[in-house]
């Protein structure tokens, strides 16, 4: 793939910024998209100085669906690669009692990301090239009491990416689903994460770059997660509903 622009949606996140550095180091121009994008000026300067590439900032709100088409139209150049690193973990116990909080989690993890990637996919299809990367979650592979609102949104996003990949398979556009498992980020800093199951943002970024380059479809950043989720999905429902994992 040529060293075309890489658009990062949710660029403020630790994973988004790691992806920016990975692709900037390879010579790609970087488009950083986030809410209050002007606050990323220091990150922009760092990327430009460190990697000698062009970096632009773009205001983007994933839950403002009406703004998505206009956002795409205002990009200075059509991206060759798009990485959607948008996400909101939420707090399950709060979200199951607060409908507005639950809706925000669902819209942030499914409706918004699906809508913007759908808008970009239509443009990529007309062009006949490009890669779309969605960061989903292993939480979407089976609903669990401890995070089923977040997990259900990620399940929807995973299904969307699967269908989009199927649609784009003969259109010259590659769609990647990334399943990181636990990642050591600001979003998870209050959680007690198991070391062997936890990836660093740089590992996620490297996995994304390899997946795009090698045209992989579904990527578990830590391969052990494929085994873990195979086991969890195999537990009979009669037993599973009595468990809390």
CA atoms of 217 and 34, how far apart (whole Å): 26
Return the structure tokens found at 83. Answer: 């990485």
Annotated catalytic residues are 150
- Burial of 123 from C-beta contacts in 10 A (0-12 / 13-18 / 19+): middle
Burial 201-213 (b: 16+ CB within 10 A, else e): bebbbbbbbebbe
């Amino acid at each position: 793939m040529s060293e075309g622009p890489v658009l990062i949606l949710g660029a403020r996140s630790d994973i988004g910024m790691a992806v920016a550095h990975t692709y900037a180091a390879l010579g790609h121009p970087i488009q950083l998209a986030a809410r209050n994008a002007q606050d990323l000026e220091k990150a922009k300067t760092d990327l430009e100085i460190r990697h000698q590439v062009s970096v632009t900032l773009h205001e983007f709100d994933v839950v403002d669906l009406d703004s998505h088409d206009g956002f795409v139209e205002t990009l200075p150049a059509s991206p060759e690669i798009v990485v959607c690193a948008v996400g909101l973990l939420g707090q399950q116990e709060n979200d199951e009692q607060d409908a507005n909080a639950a809706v925000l989690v669902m819209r942030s993890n499914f409706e918004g990301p699906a809508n913007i990637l759908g808008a970009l996919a239509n443009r990529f299809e007309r062009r006949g090239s490009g890669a779309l990367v969605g960061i989903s979650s292993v939480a979407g592979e089976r609903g669990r009491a401890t995070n089923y609102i977040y997990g259900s949104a990620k399940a929807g996003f995973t299904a969307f990416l699967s269908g989009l990949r199927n649609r784009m398979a003969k259109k010259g556009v590659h769609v990647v689903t990334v399943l990181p498992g636990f990642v050591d980020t600001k979003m998870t800093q209050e959680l007690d994460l198991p070391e062997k199951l936890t990836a660093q943002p740089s590992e996620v970024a490297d996995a994304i770059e390899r997946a795009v380059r090698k045209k992989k479809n579904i990527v578990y950043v830590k391969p052990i997660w494929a085994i873990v989720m195979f086991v969890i999905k195999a537990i009979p429902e009669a037993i599973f509903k009595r468990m809390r994992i």
